[in-house]
Chains A and B, each alone.
Chain A
Amino acid sequence: MSPNDLTMDDFLKGLWDENPVFVHLLGMCPVLAVSNTVINALSMGLATLFVLILSSALISMLRRIIPKQVRIAAFILIIATFVTVAEYVIQAISLEIHRGLGAFISLIVVNCMILGQAESFASKNNVVTSVLAATGAGVGFIFAIFCMGAVREVLGSGTFAGIDLFGPHYQPWVIMILPGGGFFVLGALLLVTNRINGWLVARKEVLEQEVAGSSATPGR
């Protein structure tokens, strides 16, 4: 198998077809917890992407060295190391973001998405493919958490990334930035994804029928 004809696919499937949040329901905790503003959501997404790419690369490099029995522990240690790095980097760049995300930066360690990626992909594939797949999954994660953050901040505080959208007379829909709103918005987003996927499947079936129909007619 040559790496070239696989790589783009590995990257793209993380974005929609196998989106870690919307399809596999992985890494839900940060998606729900720190998506009350767009800035928090994006910084969380970027931190996760950073940890995901670097840990996938390292795990993929070490995949022949790590014994099978202790692989989960080894993966978690590697992930924890990069999370510690990410935490100190965020603290150095912006104390405000560090305070906004709180303990959830450390909790990236237990994001099932990262361990899942390590276990199911990085430990079985070469470095380039693993990094590409990790980037795809990470960008898919950012997309999901950004959607959540945008919906919740616009509805819940009437702002987008801190910019006032509706003027002073907007009555904010406070429930959206409270915990309950997180569940509601994620539920609603899952509905939308289900709907879109339903349409896509239906359209594909119609297309396939047309193709089958047109190829069958000349034969008759």
Chain B
Amino acid sequence: MRGVAQLRVGDMNTDSLGFIFISATVINNFVLAYFLGICPFLGVSAKIDTAMRMGIAVTFVMLVSSMAAFGIHIVLVAIDALYLQLIAYIVVIATTVQLVEMIIKKYSPALFRTLGIFLPLITTNCAILGVALWQTSRQYDFLQSVVFAIGAGLGFCLALIIMAGLREELELSDVPGIVDGAALTLIVAGILSTAFMGFGGLGG
């Protein structure tokens, strides 16, 4: 394990910041290409307004936990305890979520009520842990990690808002009872995901 870690530290990732950003936002969109954060994607995407706020909260948590994860990784490599990585990351994410929850509760009680149960559930949003784990395994430096986290967060917002827009329209249309609900949402998400594959060409 130690050998592998040292080997990896040697070859730093040299992707340009622009590429990391575009890649995380649209080409490898976290929701539509990696299936991370599906629960809030299906749960909070009924209204554009809520979707946007949820997206911003998630982006913020992603950014903070990504920066924290960068520091933790350095410490864990230093004390040679990489097996604690997962546990340390999840604790940091849970703490950040708690922090965001308190901030939102203080400054915007209305938003706090709208997000409801989904706010604590950000902890179990795989997209956030995904950002932390991927930036580590891809050996991003600090700036790259920050750009990656912002890009992933914006990509999450984008997917959530598009989906919310589609679902608001769907409310008005007449669908057969059997597809109503989750099945319909998933099929729409499938079409959206296929559409996003078109961005693959941007990767060069």
Contacts and interface: CB of A to CB of B under 8 A. Distances in A.
Q: Do the two chains belong together in a single complex?
A: yes
Given A32-B38, A80-B90, A110-B129, A187 B193 contact: no
Contacts, number: 116
A130 B184 CA distance: 34
Interface in B117-140: 120-121, 123-126, 129-130, 133-134, 137
A115 interface: yes
Q: B interface, by DSSP: helix, strand, loop or mixed?
A: helix
Contacts of A180: 190-191, 193-194, 197
A66 interface: no
Contact of A107 (B42, B87, B120, B126): B126
Question: Which residue, of B42, B91, B125, B182, has the highest number of chain A Cβ atoms within 10 A?
Answer: B182
B86 interface: yes
Interface string A25-57: 110110011000000000000000000000000
A202 interface: no
Contacts of A107: 36, 126, 129-130, 133
Interface residues of B, number: 40
Interface of A: 25-26, 28-29, 32-33, 72-73, 76-77, 80-81, 83-84, 87-88, 103, 106-107, 109-112, 115, 175, 178-184, 186-188, 190-191, 194-195, 198
30 contacts: A28-B35, A28-B39, A29-B38, A29-B39, A73-B94, A76-B91, A76-B124, A77-B87, A83-B86, A84-B87, A106-B129, A107-B126, A107-B130, A109-B129, A110-B90, A110-B123, A112-B121, A178-B197, A179-B32, A179-B35, A179-B193, A179-B197, A180-B193, A180-B194, A182-B193, A183-B186, A187-B185, A190-B182, A190-B186, A191-B183
